[in-house]
Amino acid sequence: MSNTTETSNIDNEWLEKSLKLQQNVDSHENILRFYGITKFETIKYSLVLEYADGGTLRAYLKKHFNELNWNDKYQLTSQLANAV
């Protein structure tokens, strides 16, 4: 994290905020576990998270949103709110 000579301030700010947020929610059952961070040759960072075998929430909702009833949507929303 101390090697910031090649990255912009915006990238560093994003990185620091992301790491702090992840540390705060890392133990919650509805949040993927944080394993580490990697830096690509293009000076971009990527967080290494637990594998989500069911895919992303975005992909799930895109595929199944119209099939969900209001109770299902409420439960998903409640889980998201509790995780944050």
Quick one: which of 80, 78, 1 has its CA closest to 39?
A: 1
Q: How confident is the model at residue 9 (pLDDT cuts 50, 70, 90)?
A: low
pTM of the model: 0.50
Residue 74 confidence (pLDDT) above 50: yes
To the nearest whole number, what is the mean pLDDT of the chain? 77
Task: Break the chain into its structural domains and give their ranges.
Answer: 1-51, 53-84
Task: Count the Cβ atoms, other than its own, within 10 Å of residue 34.
Answer: 17
- Pair type for strands 34-39 and 45-49: antiparallel
The label of the residue with tokens 């915006």 reads 10
